[in-house]
Amino acid sequence: MQFFGGSDISPSPPAPTASGNNAHMIYVFNRNGVCLLYREWNRPLHTLNAQQDHKLMFGLLFSLKSLTAKMDPTSLDKGNLGVPQLPGQGCSFHSFRTNTYKLSFMETPSGMKIILITHPKTGDLRESLKYIYNLYVEYVVKNPIYTPGAPIRCDPSVYSSNQDPNATGDVVLKKF
């Protein structure tokens, strides 16, 4: 489990891994499985409606995590398969790849899950996910009118008074 720097770190964009926008979707879930943010840039195929899709994604991550915790070949005591685990407990995973996409996953110590779906040839995106998490801390958690657990709305007018109006999540995410 990675631990993140204090909130005094100002977000700075990570080195680009590839040129152009090769991201397909981003999902952000809180620890209860509520989808806080979903954006898609390039998704020709929709197999399910949005709500079902989010549920399926959360279920996939939850089950894959219990699978990796059980499979972990380096620990002796792995517990039983399917027992819910706290964030950071047990062996987790950071990405998987299929022939059409790559899913990068990060879970914060508070149980928030950030998922980025990109082109399968994309490199390691762990730094980018940390950067997105820093954006969340800076512009969502520190927003006084944000209710925890509510979907994130990137409204520039809300914090344009004391923050850079261009620093909304949407604008920054376009860099990926």
Partner 1 sequence: MAAIYSLYIINKSGGLIFYKDYGSAGRMDTNDSLRVASLWHSMHAISQQLSPTVGCLGIELLEADTFDLHCFQSLTGTKLFVVCEPGTQHMEGLLKVIYELYTDYVLKNPFYEMEMPIRCELFDINLSQAIQKDRVALLGR
What six digits make up the tokens of 78?
């792995």
What six digits make up the tokens of 35?
């989808």
Question: What value does the CA radius of gyration of the chain take, rounded to a whole number of Å?
Answer: 17
Smallest separation (angstroms) from partner 1 to the CB of 124: 9
Residue 159 parent element (H or E): helix 156-159
Smallest separation (angstroms) from partner 1 to the CB of 132: 18
Residues 42-61 that bind partner 1 (CB under 8 A): 42-45, 47-48, 53, 56-57, 59-60
Nearer to partner 1, 9 or 18 (CB): 18
Taking CB under 8 A as the criterion, the residue among 25, 106, 116, 140 binding partner 1 is 25
What six digits make up the tokens of 38?
């979903």
Question: Does residue number 160 form part of the binding site for partner 1 (CB under 8 A)?
Answer: no
Beta-ladder partners of 81: none
Question: Does residue number 39 form part of the binding site for partner 1 (CB under 8 A)?
Answer: no
Question: Does residue number 76 form part of the binding site for partner 1 (CB under 8 A)?
Answer: yes
Q: Give CA angle at 20 (131, 155), nearest 5°.
A: 50
Distance CA 118, CA 175 (A): 13
Q: Which residues bind partner 1 (CB under 8 A)?
A: 24-25, 40, 42-45, 47-48, 53, 56-57, 59-60, 63-64, 66-68, 70-78, 81, 91-101, 103, 117
